[in-house]
Amino acid sequence: MNWQEVCEHPSLQNLPFKIELNENGEIIMNAVRVIHSLYQGEIAYRLRALLKSGRTFPECAIKTARGTRVADVAWATADTVRKIKGEAECSIAPEICVEVVSASNTGEEMEEKKDLYFARGAQEVWICANGVMQFYQANGPLEKSILAPDFPKIIDIDD
């Protein structure tokens, strides 16, 4: 199965799961909890507020060497958006790809996603674990984001 088929398949519409594809075209499904969505929303909101020149979007499907992976939140420049907006899955990664860690995610899975996003051109990958933000470039961790230096290190969804 390819990503276009997943997007168009009637039985896969409106599922309460995040769907990705592995390198064999097999569907990977992860159930997300409300807190996951709350972090996604808050991260997208803050990115949009800080980086007005590009676009922020949730659930960004990215074609990788190991199948289609879906970043929880992404931010792309206007130039990148022009290149990818008509695609079923991004042929190039947005400049920022954000993953919100769920209970079912492993550290190995997060490392693999970082590597896959960087291989497709992401400039930064952010990981949100229980509201604590970690920022990365391809060559390693960052103290703070270079593209969005004012982005907070902790996301508080209780305020």
Q: Rounded CA gap, 6 and 13, in Å?
A: 9
Q: Does some domain include residue 76?
A: yes
pLDDT band at 101 (very low <50, low <70, confident <90, very high): very high
Instruction: Report the pLDDT averaged over residues 2-12.
Output: 64
Identify which has the larger pLDDT, 4 or 36. 36
Instruction: Provide the residue range defining the domain that includes 52.
Output: 33-142
What is the reported pLDDT for 33?
A: 73
Using a pLDDT cut of 90, give the percent of the chain over it: 69
Task: Note the pTM of the prediction, 2 decimals.
Answer: 0.85
**Looking at the 3D structure of the chain, how many domains does it have?**
1
Q: Does some domain include residue 155?
A: no
Q: Does some domain include residue 65?
A: yes
Q: Does some domain include residue 150?
A: no
Query: pLDDT tens digits, residue range 30-77?
Result: 656 788 889 999 999 999 999 999 999 998 999 999 988 999 999 999
Q: Does some domain include residue 10?
A: no
Give strand ranges (E) for the chain. Answer: 17-21, 27-31, 55-64, 67-76, 96-100, 124-129, 132-137, 140-142
Query: Judging by beta carbons within 10 Å of its beta carbon (0-12, 13-18, 19+), is residue 100 exposed, middle or buried?
Result: buried
Q: What is the CATH number of the domain that holds 50?
A: 3.90.1570.10
Q: Does some domain include residue 91?
A: yes
